[in-house]
A and B are shown apart, each in its own frame.
Chain A
Amino acid sequence: MKVIIPSPLLSYTRRREVEAAGSTLAEVVADLDRRYPGLRFRIVDEQDHLRPHVRVFVNAQPARDLATAVGSGDEVQIVQALSGG
C-alpha cells in the first residue's frame, strides 16, 4: 500500500511516498523499518505505542491503535503533530 511520509522522516526514506505491506498498522510500520532501518523507533516507543506528536491516518481517518487493520488498497499517512516552537 501507499504510505505518505512526513518531512521529519525523509532522512530515512528520501521520498514522500513509499510502499509497505502488512495487514495491520503495526505490520506496516515493521515493514517500513525493514526497508528504512531506524524509522520505527522514531515514531513508535519501546512499549509499542505511537509517540505523542505522531499521528497516523488510514484513508484520511485517524488511527491511534497500531492494531488497526489495513488492506493493500488503503492509503496510510504519517503526520507530524504540533510540538512547540
Chain B
Amino acid sequence: MKRTRGDGMAPASGPVALLIATRKGAFILKSDGARRRWKLSQPIFLGNVVHHLVLDPRDRRTMLAAARTGHLGPTVFRSSDAGRTWKEASRPPAFPKVPEGQKGRVVDHTFWLTPGHPSEPRAWYAGTSPQGLFRSQDGGDTWEPVSGLNDHPEYREWMGSAEDGTPDGPKLHSVIVDPRDPAHLYLGMSSGGVHESLDAGRHWRPLVKGLEVVEQLDPGTLRFHDPHVVRLCPARPDRLYQQNHCGIYRLDRPSEAWVRIGKAMPKVVGDIGFPLTLHPRDPETLWVFPMDGSGVWPRTSPGGKPAAYVSRDGGGSWKRLDAGFPRRDAWWTVKRQAMSADAHQPVGLYLGTTSGEIWASRDEGRRWTCLARHLPEIYAVEAARPGR
C-alpha cells in the first residue's frame, strides 16, 4: 500500500503478508484474499536474531531485514523480490571510527527500519542499539550516520551509552516520515524521549511536554523519558499516538503537549504496554495491548489474561477485546514492534507473542484466532500488502 493520503483512505483488498521477525530467524505468513487461509514460509535466516523485517510500500518488492547472530556483527539483508532472494548490504549501519585512544561507539544491532518518503523512492532510515539514526539513499545497500542527531552533544547525553537503557541495549525506534513532507521526521529514544526534525535530520528538538517519567524523577531530564512506540495517524498526519513506559498519550500538532489518554483505561489494567496500532483510515481509532507494569514489572498480560483494548474516540474511552484469547494462564508479552494492522475493511489486526504465537483478528479485534504457534520469540510483526 502506498502512504500517500489518497491511497491511504481507500481500503485494501487481496492477500496480506505478515513479516515476522524473531530471535531465531524470520518468517512470512501469507493469506489468501479473504484472510481466512494462511501459509507459513520456511525460516528465513534461521538462527539469526532478526529485529525487523519490512516490505517497502513504495514498490511492494524491496524488503529489508535487520539481522545479527550470537557471534557475528549486525548487518542488513536486502531482497528485491519480496523475500525470495537476498543480498547483504555492502555498508551496513556503523558509527564512525574514532581516533586511537578514544572510545568509539559500536552498533550492536539495527533495531528499527523505516522506508523513506514516496518522493525519495530509495531512501530508508534505520534506528540502532546503542542509539543511532542512519539513512540509506540506495535502497538499503549503503548506510550513513545522521550526524545531526548521533553526534550532537546533548543527544549523546540523552541517549546514554551501551550500558544504559533496556536490558538488551538502548533503542532508537519509531522513525516516522511525515507523509506530506520528507524533511519532517519524528523518532523515539528508549530512553531519551520523542524528538522532531524539520530539516531532514540536520537539527532536532525534544517533544516531551506532558509526558510523565517514573518514580517522581524530573521530567525535565530527557534521559528519564521512555517512549515505547510512537505512531503517526495516516488519516490525520498532525496526530501522533504514543505508548510510553508511563502511559498512553496523544499529540495533536501544532500543540507540543502530549495528553495522557490512558487515564481512561480501567484502573485494574492500567495503561502500560509496548505496542500501539492505528486504524489506517480513522484517526479516532487505536488499539493497545496492556501489560503488567506493577511491582517488579512482569511485562506480561495483567493477571495472565491477554486482551487488546480499543478506543474509538481518540482515547476518551476504551473497550476490552479478548474474545478468542486464552481466558487464563497466558503469561506472554507482545513487544513494541509486534502488533500491526492491515488496510482492509474491516481492519485486520495481528500480533506476535514472546512465546512464538501469531494471533489475528479479521474484524478489528472483536474475535481473535491463533494463526501460528511454536515459532521462536517474536520481536516484530508487520502486516504488508505484497506485490503481484
Contacts and interface: CB of A to CB of B under 8 A. Distances in A.
Interface of A: 6, 8-9, 37-38, 41-49, 51, 53-54, 80-81, 83-84
Contacts of B106: 45-47, 49
A43 B97 contact: no
A51 B106 CA distance: 10
Across chains A and B, which 6 residue pairs bring their CB atoms closest together, nearest first? A83-B70, A42-B72, A46-B94, A47-B104, A80-B71, A45-B106
B107 A46 contact: yes
Contacts of A8: 69, 71-72
B64 to A, nearest CB: 15
B75 interface: yes
Residue from B70, B71, B97, B106 with most neighbouring chain A CB atoms (10 Å): B71
Contacts of A48: 97
15 contacts: A6-B71, A8-B71, A38-B88, A41-B94, A43-B73, A44-B73, A45-B73, A46-B106, A46-B107, A47-B97, A47-B106, A51-B72, A53-B70, A54-B71, A83-B69
Interface string B209-236: 0000000000000000000000000000
B96 interface: yes
B72 A46 contact: no
Interface string B73-117: 101000000000000101010111110000011110000000000
A43 to B, nearest CB: 7
Contact of B72 (A9, A47, A49, A84): A9
Interface residues of B, number: 18
A41 B98 CA distance: 16
Contacts of B70: 53, 80, 83-84
A67 to B, nearest CB: 11
Nearest to B72: A42
A3 B158 CA distance: 43
Given A47-B104, A47-B106, A42 B73 contact: yes
A43 B72 contact: yes
Given A42-B73, A45-B106, A47-B106, 20 more contacts: A9-B72, A37-B90, A38-B75, A41-B73, A42-B72, A42-B75, A43-B72, A44-B73, A45-B94, A45-B107, A46-B97, A46-B107, A47-B104, A47-B105, A48-B97, A49-B106, A51-B72, A51-B73, A54-B71, A83-B70
A47 B69 CA distance: 19
Contacts of A83: 69-71
Contacts of A80: 70-71
Contacts of A41: 73, 75, 92, 94
Contacts of B105: 46-47
Residue from A49, A51, A84 with most neighbouring chain B CB atoms (10 Å): A51
A8 B298 CA distance: 34
A81 B71 contact: yes
A42 B69 CA distance: 9
A46 B96 contact: yes
A49 B98 CA distance: 12
A65 B80 CA distance: 39
Contacts of A6: 71
Contacts of B75: 38, 41-42
Contacts of B95: 46-47
Given A38-B88, A46-B106, A53 B71 contact: yes
